[in-house]
Amino acid sequence: MAKKSKTQRAKASARRAEKKEQAAAAAVVTEEKPVEEEEKKSGKFLGRKAKSAEESKPVKAETKKVVEANKKKKERFKFLKDVRAELRRVTWPTRQDVLRWSGVVVVALIFFSLYVFVLDNWIVTPLLLAISGLGA
């Protein structure tokens, strides 16, 4: 079997990440459905213990604030996780490619600096001096 290219590996990684996100979203949706509603709909007792008076009390406002603060923290770090995941999908150049293109850039810089030097010192400056000497 042939070795997969970097692009193919990146696409496969993206698909795996997408499947994980979908599975996590599906898990959240199934967790939101209360057990009592399921028991009422099916008409069966599923063998779970009845809630104690303490468990059935509404959640305190302080607890809600803590939960909201944790959600905000998770959202803050979600961006960094997304950045990290995106950087894993990047097709990075090889060392040989970096060296080759760095050489091309250096050669181009040398060429154009010599071009501007010759144009400025040996063509434009003498021409300007000649033009300014005509008016005197």
How far is Cα 112 from Cα 120, in angstroms, rounded to an integer? 12
| SS3 state of residue 11 | helix
Mean pLDDT across 110-136 = 91
How far is Cα 30 from Cα 47, in angstroms, rounded to an integer? 19
Q: Where do the structural domains in the chain lie, given as residue ranges?
A: 94-136
> Residues 88, 17: contact at Cβ < 8 Å?
no
Q: Which two tokens stand for residue 106?
A: 């250096």
State yes or no: pLDDT of 134 exceeds 80.
Answer: yes
Distance of CA 100 to the CA centre of its chain: 28
Least confident of 3-7, 12-16, 95-99: 3-7
pLDDT tens digits, 75-89: 778 888 899 999 999
State yes or no: pLDDT of 5 exceeds 90.
Answer: no
- pTM of the full predicted structure? 0.39
Mean pLDDT across 79-105 = 93
Q: What is the pLDDT of residue 59?
A: 52
Q: What is the pLDDT of residue 43?
A: 59
How far is Cα 20 from Cα 25, in angstroms, rounded to an integer? 9
Q: Look at 115 and 35; give whichever has higher pLDDT.
A: 115
